[in-house]
Every structure is written in structure tokens, then in C-alpha cells.
Structure 1
Amino acid sequence: MSTETLLERINDHASRPDPYPLYAELREHGVARQNDGSYLVGTYHQIAALLHDPRISSDVRHRTAPDASAHAAGLPPSFIGVDDPEHDRLRRLTMRPFGPPHSPGRVDALHDDIEEIARELIDGFADRDRIDLVDDFAYPLPVTVICRLLGVPQEDMPSVRTWTDTIIASLDHSPGDDPEEKRRAGLEARMAMGGYLGELADRRREHPADDMISALVHGDDPEGRLSKPELMTTLTLLTIAGHETTVNLITNGMLTLLRHPEELARLRREPELMPSAVEELLRYEPPVQMLPQRTPLTDVEVGGVTVPKGAPLFLILASGNRDPLRFEDPDRFDPARRDNQHFGFGSGVHNCFGAPLARVETQVALATLLRRLDDPRLVEDPPPYRHSPILRGPRHLLIAKGEH
């Protein structure tokens, strides 16, 4: 079959349970031009080089045919959608109240809260013989954490989920859908979420609290503060990215462990391996499968193929994570794997902002599940998957359980 249809086949929902044979096909060619003029890159070393190449832009406005749906009307792009120096300014202003060097203990201080939330969620389904890991645990845990961190009231979390689901659905490439309708709905959801978070920031200016929104609006960085439109866009990004990928990481992680009962038993015996196991899950079943918004600022040669200036460039991170030229026995799940420099959080200047929080959440979530659930069993394998080929994970994961 032609490699020019690889993206179409990857996007096909029928491929969602197991896209890895398609990624292996891509790696055989290294770089594959698609029928729509885009280019796919699937080998580890080529992806790594491009993620660190200043000629490769993250701003889709540099494309030959710019994507009008990339940014909500009236709002600036988020820091993941611009290049340096603007990316560096926005990211550093946002990082100041989140992590080192200015707020080094913020994520670590959440550890006990995350454990408490995980225990409360498990207590909530203690009397049930069957659970949906997504709806009952993997979604509510990180969304509760990010909303507490930012300062979003609990009663507003259902609205956050509705907006998030609509925005994520707008990224889907499902055949038969009306792309213009999805684009419109996604933009409306972004504007609604941005407006809500902007109003919340206004309230925090008048009545600050011990949360990240208050820290952002009252910051004293020498470079100033985020403008209100920048703040709306940044808070929307943090709210969505702060839980959406972690839902997939927790769900993919538990699914992988249930498919590998010997490794699940090992982690129960050796819980100190959990940090290493989470790194392996980020390699083996990454929640973000590809970066679709990269654009060459000039003609760039990749693996003997010239990718022209302005062409859409897809970096298939999950393919690089399974590259046998980089990882020994790459299709084997090994929770004690060493030398595991995966692309689970990307790489380069756009390396995932929330990686420290996602790591802690997933380590706590999986460790708590393994301690509290006796003999968990998959009800359906493969489970039903979400439509997005970018943010890949089960939409539901039904588990029959026993409990301590």
C-alpha cells in the first residue's frame, strides 16, 4: 500500500487500537510525503533533530496554507503555538508561579492532595463490581488537581469538561464529519472557556487566593505580566493540557499493566519501580502520539527528502518511541528499562510544560490503584478508543474488580 496514504490510515478510527504496525511502515521509509502535501517523520533520530532545529516552526501561520482554525478569533496563540523569542517570554512568565526556579515546591506540595483525591475516588466505587476507569477515576483525578491548582471552583468543573471535549473533538479527522462545523464548535468552546477564565482572573485581581491564577495576575516579573488576552489563552491551554493528556496516560498505563499481569504483580512487589514504569509507559503507549503543527521556515532535507518551506510537517512521536535503532526490543513493555529518553513529553524548547505534574499524578494514580484493587480484570479488550489520533487513549475502560 502507498506510503502517501499513511496519514489517512493512521487517522482512520479503525487503526486506533493498534497504530504501531503503521508506524513501523513509516519508519521503513523515514519520511513519507502524503497526498495532501504534508510530510510524516517517524524515526527517532530524525524526530529528535527536528525538535531541536530552529528552522522548524511551531507557528502554523508560517504554513503555505495557514490553518484558520488554529487560534480562536480575537485571542493570541498560546505559547505552544509560537516560536522564540515570544514563546520563551510567555512560557517563562507562566512558569514563574508553577515551577523552578521561582516556585520549586508547587508540584511536590500537591503529592498528598493527589493521594487523597485518588483514595476518595476509589472509595466512591468501593461497593461496585465493575468500574469505568476513565469516567470513575482517570478523568476526575487530574481535572480536580488542575482546577485546584489554578483556582477553578469545583462547581464549574462540568463546564470545563464540556468545553474541553468540544475542543479536543475539533482536532479529530474522522471521515464523514463536517470539518467546518467542528472547527466552528471548537472555536466557540475556546472563546467560552477563555472568557470564563478571563473573568475568573479578574475576580482574583480583586480577591486573590492561594492559587496559580492569583499568582499570575499579581506577578512581579521584571518583564511584566501577561496581558488579559494572553492570560485567557494561557489559562485555556493549562486547563486543557493540564488534565487531558494525563487522562490518557493513566488509562493507557492501567490497560498496559492489565495486559501484562506479570509486570503488574512485579510493581506490587516492588513499588519503588513505579517512577521507572511511568517513564516506560510514556515511551510504550504515549498519550500524545504525534505533533501535527510543525512547519519548515525554509526547505529542509530530512533523510534524503526535501521538505519544502511552509509544508505541514507531522512528527510521529509514538513511532520514534518504538524505533529499534534507538531502543532495544522496543515493542516490549519493560518497567525497569534504562536509557529511556522517550518522546512522551516531546523534546526541545517545547518540551511539555506540565511534565512534572503529569509524572506525579500518574505515579500516585497507578500506585493507589494497585494497592487498592484486588484482581482487576479487563471486561473488553481492545476497549473503545477516542477518535483523536493525536491524543490517543480509550474512551472507556471497563474493569471488573475486587477490592481490599
Structure 2
Amino acid sequence: MQPDTLFQRITDYANRADPYPLYAELRENGVTRQEDGGYLVGTYHEIAALLHDPRISSDTRNRTDPDPATLRRGDLPPAFIGLDDPEHDRLRRTAMRPFGPPHSPGRIDGLHDDITRTAEELIDSFRGADRIDIVDEFAYPLPVTVICRLLGVPHEDVPRIRAWTDAIVTGLDITPGTDQEERRQAAMAGRDAMALYLGELAGSRRGHPSHDLLSALVNDPGPEGQLTEREVMATATLLLIAGHETTVNLITNGVLTLLRHPEALKRLRAEPELMPKAVEELLRYEPPVHMLPQRTPLADVEVAGVTVPKGAPLILVLASGNRDPRRFDEPGHFDPAREDNQHFGFGAGVHSCFGAPLARLETQIALDALLPYLDGFHLTEDPPPYRRSPILRGPRHLLINRTGTQP
């Protein structure tokens, strides 16, 4: 097939369950210009260089022909994930102050017992069942409970959070030939509703500091002053979505991978000390984020002998780089003890995910708690039904059945 149709084929929902053959084709073809004028990059070393290149912008407003949907932001400013320095750096550092080192070094480690207790309570709720949906009964409620507690969001509001998040993530479905405008409108409405809710919640803490992150965002002046109300809304919305959405996929992909590789599951039961390395391998082998579609060169940039012009859409396919045989030995093999595992599971460069320590901790605890319980269970269907998004890729449901019972 033609390399200029690769993006169309990769984002086609029919290939969601197994995009890896297409990623191999992408690597073989090198940097490829697509029918819509964008450029795909799927090789490890080129992706790594671009993620650290200051000429590559994360703000799609810098494109020669920006998507009108990216310009319709309303009154809410963009979250720092879609900005460049120095604004990106200012907002990111302000958000990091109450989240982790160096200002709050014990925040994540202090969550260990709480996360463990939540995981055990969830497992107790389906103990004895013959059929379980890992997504709905475990992989979703664990991280969303944790991030809501961190932010200070009442648990009874979690159903509203899920509805808004689903609408926002559905807006990331860029499958060609589908009605993207309707999804975008729903995503914007969901984002606006979540931002307004979080802004009101944060406002109620202004002048009445507590220990949650929303309180810190409105009460901690920091070295560069407090965030504006709109900046609080945009930052809190990003933290809430990013704080659980990718971890849901990571835990779910982890369970799916271990059930597909019973020898690795058996080894982890025998050598539980391997779990941190196993989570790193999951981030390489089945990452929760497959691509970064919103990069733009601020000048003509040469990538592997191809000139990507200023203002052109640049798409970095991280999951393809994670399986580049020029960087990883036997990249299609899942090795829970893999060494030298510098993957793109959390990106790289100035936009690397600062929530990575929390996601790692949650996934390690989740899989540790589930390992004994998975004995005697098998996948109800393989592949499972996947979510629509080719960007945040993971099963929508992951049903497992006790061996000897009917699905």
C-alpha cells in the first residue's frame, strides 16, 4: 500500500486492536508525507530528537493551516500541554509545586497505603465472581478515585467526571471518514462543563486552604504569582483527565498482556520484585498513549533526510518508536525483566508527563494486587473491544471469565 495513506490506515478503527504491523510499515518507509500534508515519524531515534528539539512546537496555532477547531477555545485558555515555553514552563512548574519534588517530595509516596487499600477494596467487591470487567470494576475506579482525592473532588461526583471525560476523549477519535465535528462539539462542551465545575470547587477553597491540589492551586502564590481563575480551570481539568485516563489504559493493557503471556504472569508471581521493571516494559510494549498528533515545526526541520516544512502537521508515533528494532532487542517480545528500557511511555523532553511517578505507583500496586486473583481466569474474548481513540489506546471493556464457566 501507499505510504501516504499510513495515517488514514493507522487511525482506522478496524486496525485499533493491532496497529503494530502498520507501525512496522511506517518505520520501513521512514518519514512519510501524508495525503493531508502532515508528516509521520515512527522511528525511535528521530522521535527522541524531535521531542527535545526547541524548534518543534506543541501549540497547533503555529500551523500554516491550523484546524479551526483548535482556535475555538472560548474563554478558557489552553492547558499547558498545548503551549510552548515560557508559558508552558510557568504553568507546568506552578502545577508541579503541590504535586511532587522538589516542593512536595512526599506527596506521591504518601499515597501508597491509600492506593493499596483502594485496590484491595475493589477486588473484595468482585471476589467470588465468575465474570469480571477489569475496566469498569477495577482499572477505571482505582485511578479516578485516587486523582479525585488528590484534587479534592467529592467521590459522589465521579459519575459526572466520567461522562465529561468520555466526551473529551471521544473527541480525540480522528478516524477518517467519520463525523468529527459532532464529537468535537461534544468534547468542547464536556471540557467547558468540567472546567466550570472544577473552577467553582477551587474557588470555594480560596482563602480556606486544605491539603488537596485544588486548594494549593488557588492559595499558593508561588514565585511567579497565583494562577488566574481561568488558568486554574484549565490546569485542574488537565490534571483530572491526565491523572486517571492514561492509567486506566495502562492497567487494562497490563492485565491483557499478562493474560496473553502466561509465562510472564507465572514469573511475576514467583519474582514479585520484578514488577517495577514489568511496568516499564508494559509502557514500552503496550503504552497508553500511542501518538502525539499536535506537533508543528517553527522552522524547516530535516528529519532522516526529509525536510518537514515550517507550519506542517507533525505526528510522532510513540508506540512505533517503542518497537523499533534499531533501539530494542526483540521489540515484539514482552520481557518483564528487560534492561535499558528508555521507552516513550510518558513522552520525553520538556513535555514529559510529570504524573509519571503516580501512574507507575498505581499500576505496580494494581497489578501486584490482581496477580493472585487472576489465577484461574481467562480472557472472554481476544481481542477485546477497543475504545475509539487511536491516541489514547486501550480496551473499552476487558472481560475475564473463571476457567470452566460459560462467558
Is the CA contact (8 Å cut-off) linking 2:8 and 2:176 kept in structure 1?
A: no
Deviation string, structure 1 residues 23-62 (Cα, Å, up to 9, x no partner): 0000012201000000000000000000000000000010
Q: Secondary structure at the match of 1:292?
A: strand
- Distance in 2, Cα, partners of 1:67 & 1:122: 44
Q: Secondary structure at the match of 1:265?
A: helix
2:237 maps to which residue?
A: 236
Identity of aligned residues (%): 72
Q: Name the amino acid aligned to 2:216.
A: A
2:27 maps to which residue?
A: 27
Q: Name the amino acid aligned to 1:169.
A: T
2:46 maps to which residue?
A: 46
The answer to whether 1:344 aligns with 2:312 is: no
1:89 maps to which residue?
A: 90
Structure 1 residue 185: Cα displacement? 1.1
2:179 maps to which residue?
A: 178
Unpaired runs of 5+ residues, structure 1, are none
- Distance in 2, Cα, partners of 1:3 & 1:175: 16
Structure 1 residue 65: Cα displacement? 1.4
Structure 1 residue 176: Cα displacement? 4.8
Alignment of 1:99-138 (within 5 A): 99-138=100-139
1:150 maps to which residue?
A: 151
- Distance in 2, Cα, partners of 1:50 & 1:216: 31
Q: Name the amino acid aligned to 2:95.
A: T
Alignment of 1:52-71 (within 5 A): 52-70=52-70
Is the CA contact (8 Å cut-off) linking 1:258 and 1:378 kept in structure 2?
A: yes
Is the CA contact (8 Å cut-off) linking 2:207 and 2:219 kept in structure 1?
A: no
Structure 1 residue 246: Cα displacement? 0.3
Q: Secondary structure at the match of 2:189?
A: helix
1:354 maps to which residue?
A: 355
TM-score normalized by structure 1?
0.98
1:225 maps to which residue?
A: 226
Structure 1 residue 222: Cα displacement? 1.7
Q: Name the amino acid aligned to 1:348.
A: G
- Distance in 1, Cα, partners of 2:320 & 2:289: 11
Alignment of 1:5-404 (within 5 A): 5-70=5-70, 72-401=73-402
Q: Name the amino acid aligned to 1:18.
A: D
Q: Secondary structure at the match of 1:399?
A: strand
Q: Name the amino acid aligned to 1:179.
A: Q
Structure 1 residue 376: Cα displacement? 2.1
- Distance in 1, Cα, partners of 2:166 & 2:95: 24
- Distance in 1, Cα, partners of 2:120 & 2:370: 9
- Distance in 2, Cα, partners of 1:271 & 1:346: 27
Number of residue pairs matched by the alignment? 402
Structure 1 residue 206: Cα displacement? 4.5
Structure 1 residue 284: Cα displacement? 0.3
Q: Secondary structure at the match of 2:401?
A: strand
Unpaired runs of 5+ residues, structure 2, are none
Q: Secondary structure at the match of 1:205?
A: coil
- Distance in 2, Cα, partners of 1:278 & 1:193: 31
Structure 1 residue 99: Cα displacement? 0.4
TM-score normalized by structure 2?
0.97
Q: Name the amino acid aligned to 2:145.
A: T
Is the CA contact (8 Å cut-off) linking 1:27 and 1:323 kept in structure 2?
A: yes
Deviation string, structure 1 residues 103-149 (Cα, Å, up to 9, x no partner): 00101111111111101111111131100000010000000000000
Q: Secondary structure at the match of 2:216?
A: helix
